Structure 1
Amino acid sequence: MKSTFMALLTFSLCVPLVAADKKPIIADPIVEKAVRKSLKKPTGELTKADLEKVTRLILYNNKLTSVKGLEKLTKLEWLNLPNNQLTDVTGLEKLTQLKYL
């Protein structure tokens, strides 16, 4: 009985640590919002499979200074970024499917 209690206690203490360690797949909230809009998925966890479904993305007028995180959109073919403040486009070279920028 005591060992069962200890096992349950240990498990219950570890679960919050694992959940707290999860980082969002897209760190920039502006980019995440655009990805969610493209996917028509307003809530819930974004997965790698979700990101592979994104082929078009519009990020205009968002005051973005970098495109960090967009490299995860490996199937992206069309990217619209007007009226931002981009100073760093590192990562776009990884988007081998990109046809329009």
Structure 2
Amino acid sequence: MAIHNIMEEIVCEVLVKHKEDLQLTCGCDRCLDDIRAIALNNLSPRYIVQLEHRPYVRAPYTADRQGVTNIMLIVTKAAGIVSQSPRCQDQVSK
């Protein structure tokens, strides 16, 4: 069986849902990956082995207002870091 980090799913969903609100200077795959990596490094991983346990592990981070706010804050900070210093070719060549 594979091990799955539920936080990766949640961070990806938050980033996709709020991409326009984050006012990114670049939305290329490299910059989005950097945002995800920074955010995930600032969140505790939540691993599961059986995907049917996904809803139970996700609930505190998607249904609870404080959990949602915390993840959104971390993703917003990560987006700010990447927007200030993008490492992609689109921004480096300017």
Q: TM-score, normalised by structure 1?
A: 0.27
Q: Whose helix fraction is larger, Structure 1's or Structure 2's?
A: 2
Q: Give the greater-gyration-radius structure (CA).
A: 1
